[in-house]
Amino acid sequence: MNGNAVNLDVAVIGAGISGMYSVHCLRAVGLTVRAFDEASGVGGTWHWTRYPGARVDFPGGPFYCYTFSEEIVREFDWPDTQPDQPTVLRYCNFIADKLDLRRHIQLNTRITSVTYEEGSQRWLVETARGEVFQAQFVVCATGSLSAVNNPSIPGLETFKGLSFHTARWPSDLSLAGKRVGVIGTGSSAVQAIPVIAEEAMHLTVFQRTPQFVIPAGNRSIDPETTRYARAKWPEIRNDMVKSKKGSPFPQSSRSALDDTPAQREEMYETWWKRGSQGILIYSYGDHMTNRQANKALSDFVRRKISQIVRDKDIARKLMPEYDIGGKRLVLGTNYFETYNRDNVTLVDLKTDPLLEVTPTGVRTESGHRPLDALVLGTGFDALTGALLRLNITGRDGLRLNDKWSDRFSTYLGMSVRGFPNLFMINGPQTPSVLWNMPLAAELEADWIRDCIVHMRRNKLGAIEPAEGTEANWGREVEATASGTLFTENNSWFMGSNIPGKPRQFIVHLNGPEFFKRLSRVASEDYPGFDVEAERLLHASLQRGTCSP
């Protein structure tokens, strides 16, 4: 045992939406908990994601938030259907105060290593400030899209202007009068581009792959919706838990091919206008399982692009050729319209490859483009990236980076064999990024709490997946995606955006079944896990403070 270490029952890594809820629910059963975050404030993704135009791109308002407390639902007024980043960050701070979480959260603290000690059945958690904590349990609430992807573009480090990732946007930055370049056209860049174009003198967008972008349709939430949500909250929450996407809005199960082309067009037009309150791809049930159905919708959005973008050559460059939804569908506001502006240039890197960044701009095959600021909208090492950056070493010196070098494997997306008592929230092989993430975080943190309580009651010291359970779980997760078009496209769902990352589908596609499964595993006393008896009688047991 490390004599200088501060003792905790649970170390939570991350103080975003998952980390804050973990602190709340673990503290409630008498556990000593501390959350650590590298950021200077709470909010996780919503602390970092400060680019102009950043908004929730899921059915937002009262549905993208904590769901467990009707009191909280009543007390926070969401102004828009797609809340902007400052509003979500204000909400996170409201929660930290309301639940009195700050005294359990240590900010400005980067975790440098997490190492399992066999003898004590505890983890040593080291920080960049030189502190060491010893915790029986570690909860990785590290965020699904938090490990920034800084691309290796020749000369990037030589750029003399301002250069930064969308998730590291400098505070108080003015782009007025500047020539700005944006590399990437994912969700972040698509939200930022129209706002940057309004402010900058000139904007050049460097596009590697065009995007299907549908209107977010952000609008003020009418008081009636808020009143309804507050009055019916338990039912709404229950419906979201059972819903395939964790959303309160409709999803059709009909085939797009059961309708005539004219009927389909009418349906698509209606859903196009709904924006996030009924996302177009769910207008029929088979867009992601039937290529012909998918093509009908892909063609509809391509027609929209050619109607919106006046210059036919630019419109052609903006046309995606893959299956709609194969990459995460992007919700935007005036995205395609922005290419009608005189101060916006689109560079298609497929036909005009990026050669290098120079001290004064970006050189593509067709020439040099002088820039004052370069924005990297280049995304994230999704789901596994943040975990692999923690430097985790489990039983027998096994490093998570080595275990996952060819393929990642988990049991229930919550735990990894060889890494006892370490849990993940919204990690790989959970519904995560294709479900309602705050709601998923609550359900997964509750499961972790119940597992810890079960262990304490039964004087268990360690729990980890049994031999073979990860392989079975991997097959189950793959089965949820088999026959879908997700696995036939290149996207960060498949690891394709990170050079060298194994090609493996990262999401469990059936949220309701996933959460039912978690409940079943808990109620059956954790089948599929190996457990060990507690070697050290834990202080909180002696004090009898763990009282669920």
Nearer to ligand NA7 (CB atom), residue 52 or residue 418: 52
Nearer to ligand NA7 (CB atom), residue 267 or residue 506: 506
List Cβ neighbours of 544 (8 Å cut-off, separation of 6 or more). none
Phi and psi of 356, rounded to 5°?
A: -165, 160
Residue in 23, 15, 17, 14 with CA at minimum distance from that of residue 448:
23
Residue in 432, 418, 422 with CA at minimum distance from that of residue 383:
432
What tokens were used for 344?
Answer: 């916006």
Judge whether 372 and 178 are in contact, CB under 8 Å: yes
- What is the smallest separation between the CB atom of 49 and ligand NA7, expressed in angstroms? 7
Judge whether 136 and 119 are in contact, CB under 8 Å: no
Q: Which of 44, 184, 248, 275 binds ligand NA7 (CB under 6 A)?
A: 184
Per CB under 6 A, which region of 247-255, 262-270, 273-281, 377-385 contacts ligand NA7?
377-385
Nearer to ligand NA7 (CB atom), residue 277 or residue 415: 277
By Cβ distance, which residue is nearest to ligand NA7? 186
Per CB under 6 A, which region of 117-125, 145-153, 398-406, 441-449 contacts ligand NA7?
145-153
Helix (H), strand (E) at residue 3: none
Q: Which of 20, 24, 33, 57 binds ligand NA7 (CB under 6 A)?
A: 57
CA 34 to chain centre: 22
| 33-36 vs 105-106, strand pairing mode | parallel
Q: Is 183 in the site for ligand NA7 (CB under 6 A)?
A: yes
Residue in 519, 313, 548, 529 with CA at minimum distance from that of residue 418:
529
Write each residue from 316 to 335 as x if it is in contact with ligand NA7 (CB under 6 A), else as -, in one continuous string. Answer: ------------x-------
List Cβ neighbours of 523 (8 Å cut-off, separation of 6 or more). none
Q: Which of 52, 59, 377, 413 binds ligand NA7 (CB under 6 A)?
A: 377
What tokens were used for 254?
Answer: 């009909």
- What is the smallest separation between the CB atom of 373 and ligand NA7, expressed in angstroms? 17
Q: Is 150 in the site for ligand NA7 (CB under 6 A)?
A: no
Q: Is 151 in the site for ligand NA7 (CB under 6 A)?
A: yes
**Cα gap 518→254, rounded to integer Å:** 29
Q: Which of 29, 145, 196, 518 binds ligand NA7 (CB under 6 A)?
A: 145
Q: Is 244 in the site for ligand NA7 (CB under 6 A)?
A: no
- What is the smallest separation between the CB atom of 479 and ligand NA7, expressed in angstroms? 24
Alpha-carbon radius of gyration of the chain: 24
Place of tokens 């996207």: 491
**Cα gap 258→283, rounded to integer Å:** 12
Q: Is 209 in the site for ligand NA7 (CB under 6 A)?
A: yes
Nearer to ligand NA7 (CB atom), residue 332 or residue 465: 332
Per CB under 6 A, which region of 90-98, 371-379, 409-417, 442-450 contacts ligand NA7?
371-379
Q: According to CB under 6 A, which residues from 460 to 499 bind ligand NA7?
A: 492, 497
49-to-16, 148, 182, 247 alpha-carbon distances in Å: 12, 11, 16, 23
Q: Is 384 in the site for ligand NA7 (CB under 6 A)?
A: no
List Cβ neighbours of 294 (8 Å cut-off, separation of 6 or more). 287, 288, 323, 324, 325, 485
Per CB under 6 A, which region of 29-37, 97-105, 133-141, 375-383 contacts ligand NA7?
375-383
Judge whether 157 and 29 are in contact, CB under 8 Å: no
Q: Which of 62, 379, 427, 465 binds ligand NA7 (CB under 6 A)?
A: 379
Q: Which of 378, 410, 430, 510 binds ligand NA7 (CB under 6 A)?
A: 378
- What is the smallest separation between the CB atom of 326 and ligand NA7, expressed in angstroms? 10
Nearer to ligand NA7 (CB atom), residue 153 or residue 546: 153
Q: DSSP letter string over 453-492? A: HHHHHTTEEEEEEPTTHHHHHHHHHHHHHTTSSGGGS-SG
**Cα gap 46→48, rounded to integer Å:** 5
Q: According to CB under 6 A, which residues from 502 to 541 bind ligand NA7?
A: none
- What is the smallest separation between the CB atom of 492 and ligand NA7, expressed in angstroms? 5
Q: Which of 89, 95, 180, 189 binds ligand NA7 (CB under 6 A)?
A: 189
Q: Kindly list the residues in this chain that would bind ligand NA7 in the complex (CB under 6 A).
A: 57, 145, 151, 153, 166, 183-189, 208-209, 328, 349, 377-380, 492, 497
